[in-house]
Structure 1
């Protein structure tokens, strides 16, 4: 048997370490506090033996030179240790052995003082959504600053016209013009006229000149109710200023959306401007293009820098205007003093081959550096001051060739003037002045325009009748015969609806006259729509003006601008699609201070939409709701059923 030998030094080391270990163990048992029967000591509970460093053992053994016995009172008064695990740290003794003992507080640190209580955290309010901006604030977002500072005009203001003498009564009109107005039966000016005339006809004669290249006039935008006299508001200043002209040139251009309006405005110019010597022309496409050229241009053979014109005032539709601007030689807009855009909101909403961009470019002076072939003509005649750069001596520096601005003044008119910043920017307005004509109130004024709140004539009465779709024609006939709705314009949604309603009315009126035992001659209703030729429309309109036709059924073709003095009722047989159409429809009556009634037939499924439209325009309270019961319709049912049978037979052939 072989026994492994060990080194004597190694055995001696282990013996010393073991002796020290046994010595410490014995000492721990000796200093161990007594526990009650059944109570487990801390060391037994922790499952670990307590390891005490040498320095701590000596402090326990020596207290005033004597060791503390376990049964002494000092040991009993000793507080019980915390049961939490103790922190231990490594201690290396003189022999190089590593021991673990409890970590006490550092001797160099002062005793801990009780800290002050921490301050409470500030309380913050709960997050919440901000208040929504008001409608007026939203409406002003992006609005033209000139519109915000518009001049509010009381619609009830009137100004009498002095009959003769040098005193114009504040109208700015000459004696000859005032006499002509009195001959036509016009004895006072309406609010839009009394406000606009002094602005366009200043007392300084220099500011009434045909050309103002160094001090061009401000542009004007007018928002006024239908029937308030907007046409006369621009006819009078144009006639007053152009009467000073010597050479005939195209100096006033009036752009309108329909041919019928062109005819009406021309009649106004001719009536008021009688004896002035001004020549007025029209361009609507009603006649051939060559015929219109012969009426507008004096010389088409020689290219003239100043153009050649037979007329002083041109009234036209935008499409035909562009045709002449691009295809008629010597048709020039460089001499324009006035550019009038009537029914501006409708014209700006329609492109017409970008007519506005081309017209503004034609009125704008070209740059002196322009070298486009054909710009410099061989002949020149009466070139406008702002277009002197086209002349052969243009590069010679002098007062004559100094760059000038166009004298063209833009005048915009509409009952529902646009507030779209993009559309207003395309007009290139020069320091514009806004006039808003409305009834006197304590409201926000210009916000009525900003928020699509439209002003109606004060003498207009508005009514709304909600009915079933199948009974709507019968309700219309009840209005005609029971409420005496004659001399009326009836608006439908399409040309087809117009023709069908007129045929049904003819059958109904005939059946009623026969059923009542040969009543006097019935009412005459006629259709007026785009399906008719221009000559047919003119003939029907003339008969309606002469009261030979009592009811004119039409589409929205006639809803803008047409002025027929004896129209006392407007019936919207089909609900208008938006508030603007409603304003222009009802504006055909109650014009120039006369009384009028507006009736709207609303189908049950359309009632909510129509009321919402009126409410958004803050106009619902002004429209009275009427009810027509079955008892009121019962006397007309027999004639109505017979008329429906005849209409069915007529369309089934």
Structure 2
């Protein structure tokens, strides 16, 4: 029993010793964990150098907690042995052994470099001028306010044109005065001295060795562009002896062809010039008989009965391909009016073929060798060439043509438009020779020309044109109204009947988006007038008696009508027999009707160019006019953005009309609308 008790006491002592040992072992682990260095993180030297620079003065900076510098590792050594003395129950833990850390040398610093930065983007003006022809950059900016009086005998000298002679004869001056033209506008005062210089050699019909420079003109609508090219053409061609086709005027529409012909006939009265047109209005054989003299034999020089041809591009191409002896080799002037529209439409590549017909083909060696052989065998005087132009003489085998001889076409190209294109690709397709640009601008373009450079205002005017900031006549007032689709006819009828846009002596042009819209609006207007007259007969429209005029004559004008009918309608409108002419964009370009005081865009235009040409039908030649645009609610955002991009939004005033103002018209409008629906449902 004593042995068993002794063994139990001994096991108990061993258990206590083991517990003390485990406790010391746990404490040593804690101490070693605290004194053991933490894991190293490898950082780039540049990070250390930047941290030292932020610390200042190149002094070492202690790393943040948990992060130590990267140092070179020492070669591995043997593990240190730590002796543990036998501990007693009341003994205290021994201090943990310290581990020495090797000294760290200061890292080398690298120079810092600035971060890369993006360059400033180019301005809109710089981008707009990129790729433009140098002739366009050096364009002549003409203030729209410049005018010259031609009433006096010496008025064509030094009247605000810098001492430049206007160039036309006394006979032309008297003819212009007889027509009621007493002063010339800006585009005319600039272009006439250029096309009619004082030197008589520059007025020659043929200039094969020194062809005249071409001209591009950008001027607002109604500024007198037709007269600017009609006067020089008549003056220069009046010296001709033999009738040849020497002037070709290309226009986009038939109506504009008739108007330009009237201008030429009025100016050239008494000069003996023969003017013809080709629009497709008459039969093809009838036009052939009017243009050329011989249909059966082929003549190298062509045969023409007219001096000036005014035509549309489609009909011109028909005559170039099908009419025998129709030749353009004698052309002295090629006028492209409304150039932006004609250049945008191909018409069977009419421009390429017309330019090719005016240029002489390259001379070939066989012509020269053939002539020398004939001259050596039997020297004789060569026969008279078959009416060939000087630049086409090498086509005749009996006329010498030397290899070093270079002859060019004498045709001078004249381009006119209120929204002339500045697309380099389209301008390059014209093959312009030493072109001269004239830009007529309003108030924003009235700058002065500085010697040795371009004035800032003048440069701004050029940028406005290139970036399509179109100039409007100073006498034009512009308005727009926002309404719903249902209210748009009511708003238009209210404007008419409340005399906002129609006085006894006024004429109104209304533009719609299509021929169908034109016809539908005219019918609706007629039904509304009938409804008002019926209600007035029943004495139910007393509130409209003072402001409603039912004697307004409204007529539709569109491409659906025959040519003779359109001509008759236009003559009645000019004679003030028709008060409101509702039309499509058929006559939005070039048509000049002097008494048009209001232009209404019943359907808002989709682009700025169309807007410019529409509103240009009024406020022409210095007269006053108003332009109204009815904008539906879903179109308002696009319309405002379009005006803002053209920097023209501030010039268009918004007019607000409350529903109570046109409320008296609502019952009559609903009656007219029901009649219109019934008519279309039956048809």
Matches of 2:118 and 2:601, distance apart in 1: 44
8 A contact 2:191–2:228 mirrored in 1: yes
| Residues 236-635 of structure 1: pairs in structure 2 closer than 5 A | 236-369=231-364, 380-395=385-400, 397=402, 402-441=405-444, 442=457, 444-486=460-502, 487-517=507-537, 522-635=551-664
Q: How many residues align?
A: 545
Distance change in 2, residues 1:644/1:167 (3 Å)? closer
| Corresponding residue number in structure 1 for 2:171 | 176
| 1:395-423 Cα distance to aligned partner (Å, 9 max, x none) | 4649xx94311110000000000011111
| 1:37-96 Cα distance to aligned partner (Å, 9 max, x none) | x99xxxxxxxxxxxxxxxxxxxxxxxxxxxxxxxxxxxxxxxxxx996249xxxxxxxxx
| Corresponding residue number in structure 2 for 1:202 | 197
| Corresponding residue number in structure 2 for 1:61 | none
| Corresponding residue number in structure 2 for 1:65 | none
8 A contact 1:305–1:379 mirrored in 2: no
Distance change in 2, residues 1:137/1:394 (3 Å)? same
| 1:291-325 Cα distance to aligned partner (Å, 9 max, x none) | 00000001222211111000000000001001111
8 A contact 2:244–2:330 mirrored in 1: yes
The structure having more radius of gyration, on CA atoms, is 1
| 1:159-205 Cα distance to aligned partner (Å, 9 max, x none) | 00144469656321100000000001000000000000000000000
Report the CA distance between 1:516 and its aligned residue.
3.5
8 A contact 1:459–1:593 mirrored in 2: yes
SS of the residue 2:663 aligns to:
helix
Report the CA distance between 1:512 and its aligned residue.
2.1
8 A contact 1:304–1:380 mirrored in 2: no
Q: Which one of 107, 111, 126 corresponds to residue 121 of structure 1?
A: 111
- The unaligned stretches of length 5 or more in structure 1 are 1-37, 40-81, 88-113
| Corresponding residue number in structure 1 for 2:143 | 154
SS of the residue 1:444 aligns to:
helix
8 A contact 1:216–1:407 mirrored in 2: yes
Distance change in 2, residues 1:122/1:594 (3 Å)? same
Matches of 1:276 and 1:514, distance apart in 2: 58
Give the root-mean-square deviation of aligned CA atoms.
2.6
Distance change in 2, residues 1:526/1:167 (3 Å)? closer
Matches of 2:152 and 2:270, distance apart in 1: 18
Please, which moves more after superposition, 287-296 or 134-143?
A: 134-143
Matches of 2:76 and 2:475, distance apart in 1: 99
- TM-score, normalised relative to structure 2: 0.76
Report the CA distance between 1:136 and its aligned residue.
1.2
Matches of 1:577 and 1:550, distance apart in 2: 26
SS of the residue 2:596 aligns to:
coil
| 1:357-410 Cα distance to aligned partner (Å, 9 max, x none) | 1000000011111889xxx9x994321111111122234649xx9431111000
SS of the residue 1:600 aligns to:
strand
| 1:418-473 Cα distance to aligned partner (Å, 9 max, x none) | 01111111100001111010113337111111101101111000001000111100
Matches of 2:398 and 2:151, distance apart in 1: 50
Please, which moves more after superposition, 484-493 or 247-256?
A: 484-493
- Does residue 138 in structure 1 map to residue 127 in structure 2? yes
| 1:80-124 Cα distance to aligned partner (Å, 9 max, x none) | xx996249xxxxxxxxxxxxxxxxxxxxxxxxxx99863442142
Report the CA distance between 1:139 and its aligned residue.
1.3
Matches of 2:680 and 2:118, distance apart in 1: 61
| Residues 92-131 of structure 1: pairs in structure 2 closer than 5 A | 118-125=108-115, 127-131=116-120
Report the CA distance between 1:541 and its aligned residue.
0.7
Report the CA distance between 1:144 and its aligned residue.
2.2
Distance change in 2, residues 1:116/1:619 (3 Å)? same
| Corresponding residue number in structure 2 for 1:85 | 76
8 A contact 1:219–1:432 mirrored in 2: yes
Matches of 1:301 and 1:165, distance apart in 2: 51
| 1:586-627 Cα distance to aligned partner (Å, 9 max, x none) | 000000000000000000010000000000001000000011
8 A contact 1:285–1:320 mirrored in 2: yes
Report the CA distance between 1:649 and its aligned residue.
1.6
Matches of 2:497 and 2:664, distance apart in 1: 11
Matches of 2:156 and 2:575, distance apart in 1: 38
Matches of 1:515 and 1:568, distance apart in 2: 31
Matches of 2:463 and 2:402, distance apart in 1: 50
8 A contact 2:148–2:155 mirrored in 1: no
| Corresponding residue number in structure 1 for 2:186 | 191
SS of the residue 1:565 aligns to:
coil
8 A contact 1:303–1:379 mirrored in 2: no
Distance change in 2, residues 1:167/1:152 (3 Å)? closer
Matches of 2:429 and 2:410, distance apart in 1: 18
Matches of 2:402 and 2:482, distance apart in 1: 74
Matches of 1:201 and 1:510, distance apart in 2: 58
SS of the residue 1:469 aligns to:
coil
Matches of 1:630 and 1:383, distance apart in 2: 72
8 A contact 2:244–2:306 mirrored in 1: yes
8 A contact 1:161–1:171 mirrored in 2: no
SS of the residue 1:631 aligns to:
coil
SS of the residue 1:645 aligns to:
helix
- TM-score, normalised relative to structure 1: 0.80
Matches of 2:483 and 2:119, distance apart in 1: 44
